[in-house]
């Protein structure tokens, strides 16, 4: 009997190992090369004037490589800086990044040629990051402008359609596709709504999830299904009024028209605060909350917003514009300190309009009314933010510009190695944070 049990145990162990081997992938994904960069401060942070030393390691097929590394040390997202070379011995070298005399980040950009192949990597470290302040100034009539728009929105009837989306039903939630009009011009947004099954009327918090940047379908409506599994109403939205049931080809054609460089939606109407594309998007957040708070399942108390990148920006905007928002989670927010590039040596935020030649005195005035740092100053509900240092889409400089102006209760999860992504574990922690901070 013992032998049979042992054989069964070994068989199960063998199968598990085989499955793990089939599922596992190297880090980074399917690359022959692995860079390891280790700053001599474990949190990757320094005071201005302190020298930053980084140990650089390079492996190919897991084997330490000898050779020469060329490098450039630049300010976050900016060109220039100083260059140098380091020699790898037993796969290791130490690079002196120098320092900054003002608050901000330096980026160490690395290149090596190994066996005829070129491989690159980078790592960013920060200096006196708690003193990073935004370049963007708040107009004196910032809240007056938005309050006028909100007052006008109140006079617009709440108009929507809601249809079952059974293809996304789960054992714990019913799914619906919602089309919601956001202004008198008939502009709308679509979203997938998930309502927990077996709920008690008036028992569910609502969670609004605005999307990341781009013109795209709602690709993974069930990615965050654990919100509904935990008793929350979840509303996953897009912002362009595009029915997610469109074909991929149709979405691609529209995306090519609305999401290309200086013709992209984030640049449309940029010369007027009244005509800028994002005005109806920001107001659409409030209209989405209008809709969610009419649902009979809503508990009457809790309204959370949660998103990443552009979705992180929109979450912060919603928290500032709508006092019904009780909790806000934002990953590496975009649309933050966008005009900062106008000052020499300053790092600005996504969508990096200086690359398209669109930053000037006039567009700066428009952006002041839409920049996330100015909304962040007016948030009163608790905020949870997360960001990484190696992010070249929404750079850490601008995340700190937002973080440092928040005057509300706030908590952070900083993941230095992350580029423009969050792990599934981090996403779940957002849900847990929301659940643990609900108004009872």
Catalytic residue among 76, 107, 290, 391: 391
- 315 annotated active-site: no
| 3-state secondary structure at position 216 | coil
For residues 225 and 173, the answer to whether their CB atoms sit within 8 Å is: yes
Kindly report which listed range (256-260, 300-304, 382-386) carries the lowest average pLDDT score.
256-260
The answer on pLDDT for 141 being more than 90 is yes
Cα–Cα nearest to 413, from 397, 425, 398: 425
Which residue in the block uniquely carries the two structure tokens 């962040």? 376
- 332 annotated active-site: no
Cα separation, 72 vs 340, whole angstroms: 23
The answer on pLDDT for 66 being more than 80 is yes
pLDDT range class, residue 241, cuts 50, 70, 90 = very high
Local structure of residue 199 (DSSP, 8 states): P
Mean pLDDT for 375-393 is 98
> What's the whole-number average pLDDT of the chain?
92
Look at residue 21 in the predicted model and tell me its pLDDT.
39
28 C-beta neighbours (distance < 10 Å), count = 10
Cα separation, 26 vs 42, whole angstroms: 24
Catalytic residue among 280, 290, 299, 309: 309
The answer on pLDDT for 292 being more than 80 is yes
CATH 3.40.50.1820 domain range(s) in the chain = 142-436
- 420 annotated active-site: yes
The answer on pLDDT for 22 being more than 50 is no
pLDDT range class, residue 120, cuts 50, 70, 90 = very high
The answer on pLDDT for 42 being more than 50 is yes
| 3-state secondary structure at position 327 | strand
Mean pLDDT for 404-414 is 98
The answer on pLDDT for 5 being more than 80 is no
CATH 1.20.1440.230 fits 142-436, yes or no: no
Mean pLDDT for 202-231 is 93
Look at residue 257 in the predicted model and tell me its pLDDT.
81
Percentage, residues of the chain above pLDDT 70:
94
> What does the pLDDT look like over 87-110, one tens digit per residue?
999 999 999 999 999 999 999 999
CATH topology of domain 33-129: Immunoglobulin-like (2.60.40)
Residues paired with residue 36 on neighbouring β-strands, in sequence order: 57
| 3-state secondary structure at position 190 | strand
Catalytic residue among 224, 378, 420, 430: 420
Joined together, the tokens standing for residue 89 give: 């011995």
Cα separation, 363 vs 92, whole angstroms: 47
Look at residue 27 in the predicted model and tell me its pLDDT.
58
Look at residue 18 in the predicted model and tell me its pLDDT.
38
Mean pLDDT for 165-187 is 96
* Secondary structure string (H, E, C) spanning 280-336: HHHHHHHHHHHHHCCCCCEEEEEEEEEEECHHHHHHHHHHHHCCCCCEEEEECCCCC
Angle between helices 278-292 and 142-154 (to 10 degrees): 50
Joined together, the tokens standing for residue 381 give: 């509900």
Mean pLDDT for 408-432 is 96
Q: Taking the model in full, what pTM does it have?
A: 0.92
CATH 2.60.40.1930 domain range(s) in the chain = 33-129
Residues paired with residue 89 on neighbouring β-strands, in sequence order: 92
Omega within 30 of 0 (cis) for the link into 355: no
């Amino acid at each position: 009997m013992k032998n049979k049990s042992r054989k069964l145990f070994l068989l199960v162990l063998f199968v598990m190992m085989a499955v793990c081997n089939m599922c596992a992938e190297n880090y980074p994904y399917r690359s022959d090369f692995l860079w390891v960069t280790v700053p001599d401060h474990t949190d990757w942070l320094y005071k201005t004037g302190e020298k930053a030393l980084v140990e650089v390691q390079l492996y190919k097929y897991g084997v330490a490589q000898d050779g020469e590394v060329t490098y450039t040390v630049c300010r976050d997202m900016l060109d220039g800086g100083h260059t140098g070379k380091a020699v790898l011995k037993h796969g290791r070298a130490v690079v002196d990044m120098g320092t900054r005399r003002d608050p901000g980040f330096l980026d160490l950009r690395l290149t090596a040629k190994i066996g005829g192949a070129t491989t690159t990597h980078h790592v960013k470290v920060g200096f006196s990051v708690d003193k990073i302040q935004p370049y963007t100034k708040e107009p004196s009539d910032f809240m007056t402008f938005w309050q006028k728009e909100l007052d006008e929105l109140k006079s617009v009837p709440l108009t929507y359609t809601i249809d079952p989306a059974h293809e996304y039903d789960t054992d714990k939630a019913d799914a619906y596709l919602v089309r919601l009009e956001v202004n008198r011009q008939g502009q709308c947004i679509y979203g997938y709504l998930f309502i927990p099954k077996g709920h008690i009327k008036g028992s569910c918090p609502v969670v609004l999830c605005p999307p990341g940047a781009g013109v795209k379908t709602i690709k993974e409506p069930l990615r965050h299904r654990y919100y509904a599994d935990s008793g929350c109403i979840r509303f996953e939205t897009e912002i362009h009024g595009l029915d997610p049931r469109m074909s991929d080809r149709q979405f691609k054609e529209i995306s090519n028209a609305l999401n290309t460089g200086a013709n992209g939606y984030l640049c449309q109407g940029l010369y007027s605060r009244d005509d800028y594309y994002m005005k109806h998007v920001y107001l659409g957040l409030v209209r989405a909350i209008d809709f969610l708070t009419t649902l009979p399942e809503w508990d009457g108390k809790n309204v959370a917003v949660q998103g990443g990148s552009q979705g992180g920006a929109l979450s912060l905007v919603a928290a500032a514009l709508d006092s019904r928002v009780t909790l806000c989670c934002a990953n590496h927010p975009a649309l933050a300190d966008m005009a900062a590039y106008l000052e020499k040596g300053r790092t600005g935020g996504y969508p990096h309009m200086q690359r398209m030649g669109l930053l000037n005195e006039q567009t700066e005035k428009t952006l002041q009314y839409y920049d996330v740092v100015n909304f962040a100053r007016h948030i009163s509900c608790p905020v949870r933010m997360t960001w990484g240092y190696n992010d070249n889409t929404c750079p850490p400089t601008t995340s700190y510009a937002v973080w440092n102006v928040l005057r509300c209760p706030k908590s952070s999860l900083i993941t230095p190695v992350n580029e423009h992504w969050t792990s599934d574990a981090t996403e779940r922690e957002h849900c847990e944070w929301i659940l643990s901070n609900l108004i009872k």
